[in-house]
Structure 1
Amino acid sequence: MSDESKTQPSFGGPDDLELVHRSQTGDIAAYEELVRRYHSKIYGLIYGMTSSREDAEDLVQEVFVKAWKALGHFREQSSFYTWIYRIALNRTINFRKRRNRRQTVSFDEFDPDIKTSESYREFSSKGSVLRKMSLSEFQEKMNAAMLKLSEKQRAVVAMHDIQGLSHAETAEVMRCSEGTVRSRLFYAHKQLQAELAEFVK
């Protein structure tokens, strides 16, 4: 079994590669199926890096439009989902560089995936104060803490902790070693713990 087949998410129906091939011939329905499969995952990644639903909704549309236009350049050297994650990551980083200002975190900005994230489980197990916080309160505090991380640290937290990608998958998307991913996660977790220390008692 190839590394790609081991890591590609499992969906019913045609596999990603078949859908990509059909999309490359102009099959809109095939591409719509790829969008359906990965929309929530790409949204989650972008939201994890921007802490803004509005920006995430805009950027996820841009990502899938860009991917559609670039499908002719997809050479199957990686899985489709790694390829689309990389497009989303680069698009989001470039967006934040252009904006060049810190986001205002809204109390209403709520990501339903946060409750299943590794960061939430880690922090919620550590103290009664955090366990008494509402999920929306935790989201607000986590958003503010996430925005203080570097772009690369925020990316690995969003992909590994929130989206559930393995160290190897995250490394492939970011084109770095697994050791680098683990190091970025370690320092990101340390910083998040420091930022949330008053809530974990």
Structure 2
Amino acid sequence: MLEKFRNKNSTAKVSSGMSTKQVRYEALVKALHADLYRYAYWLTHDKQVSEDLVQETFLRAWRALDSLKDEKAAKSWLITILRRENARRFERKRFDMGEYEESSITDSVSPSSEQEIENHWLREKIAQLPEEYREPLVLQVIGGFSGEEIAKMLDLNKNTVMTRLFRARNQLKDALDNEPLKRGTYNG
């Protein structure tokens, strides 16, 4: 008789634990899905790949949800998972760029408004930054993370992150200052 009581009690605990995990997980997805998708899209520039990355990120998050002790760190925890998932994408697939013409790789979509042109230019300039400067800048601008949070995610000293952010902004400013004026170029 005592054995049946223990089994029912442990089953109830497991069920309760699962529902608590489910509630935590659903809250994470609801609160952070848009931020993760925006960051994934910035990394990949592809809607489908971004959706897949976010889905894989949340799948891994579900499996490791018990390791998340501080709910305040959830966003940086998920961004770290997403970054690793994106890196895995390249580990699995090797690209042979020798087969393709560089001109066929460039964006075929032509920007239509001045704002789109500026956004396209800025993306290109950010993409040209060395990774050590680009990554903290994207995490700050797109992800909205503080210098301290970025330092934890990238496993760097906060002062190093702040220096890299400063240098990244200066390099973008220099690129803007060196860009020839193209007024009226895009107007009919």
Asked if these proteins are the same fold (TM beyond 0.5), I'd say: yes
Q: Determine which structure has the larger helix proportion and give its number.
A: 2
Other-structure match for 1:198:
179
| 8 Å contact from structure 2 (residues 25, 65) kept in 1 | no
Equivalent runs, 1:31-50 vs 2, <5 Å: 31-50=25-44
Other-structure match for 1:67:
61
| 8 Å contact from structure 2 (residues 37, 54) kept in 1 | yes
User: Is 1:145 aligned to residue 138 of structure 2?
Assistant: no
Q: How many angstroms does 1:78 deviate by?
A: 7.2
CA distance in 1, matches of 2:167, 2:122: 16
CA distance in 2, matches of 1:142, 1:83: 27
> Which of 22, 25, 50 is equivalent to 2:18?
25
What letter is aligned with 1:159?
A: L
Seq. identity, %: 28
Q: 1:144 to 1:80 in 2, by over 3 A?
A: same
> Which of 158, 164, 169 is equivalent to 2:149?
169
Larger Rg: 2
Q: What's the TM-score, normalizing by structure 2?
A: 0.66
- Find the residue that maps to 1:163 and give its secondary structure: coil
Structure 2 segments unaligned to the other structure (5+ residues) = 1-14, 98-104, 183-188
CA distance in 1, matches of 2:159, 2:80: 19
Q: How many residues align?
A: 157
Q: 1:70 to 1:108 in 2, by over 3 A?
A: farther
Aligned-residue Cα RMSD (Å) equals 3.4
| 8 Å contact from structure 1 (residues 107, 136) kept in 2 | no
Q: How many angstroms does 1:32 deviate by?
A: 2.0
User: Per chain length, whose mean CA-contact separation is higher, i.e. which structure has more relative contact order (CA < 8 Å, sep 6+)?
Assistant: 1
Equivalent runs, 1:179-194 vs 2, <5 Å: 179-194=159-174
Structure 1 segments unaligned to the other structure (5+ residues) = 1-21, 110-132
State the Cα deviation string for residues 29-51 of structure 1 (Å, max 9, x = none). 44222111011111222233333
Q: How many angstroms does 1:25 deviate by?
A: 2.5
User: Is 1:81 aligned to residue 75 of structure 2?
Assistant: yes
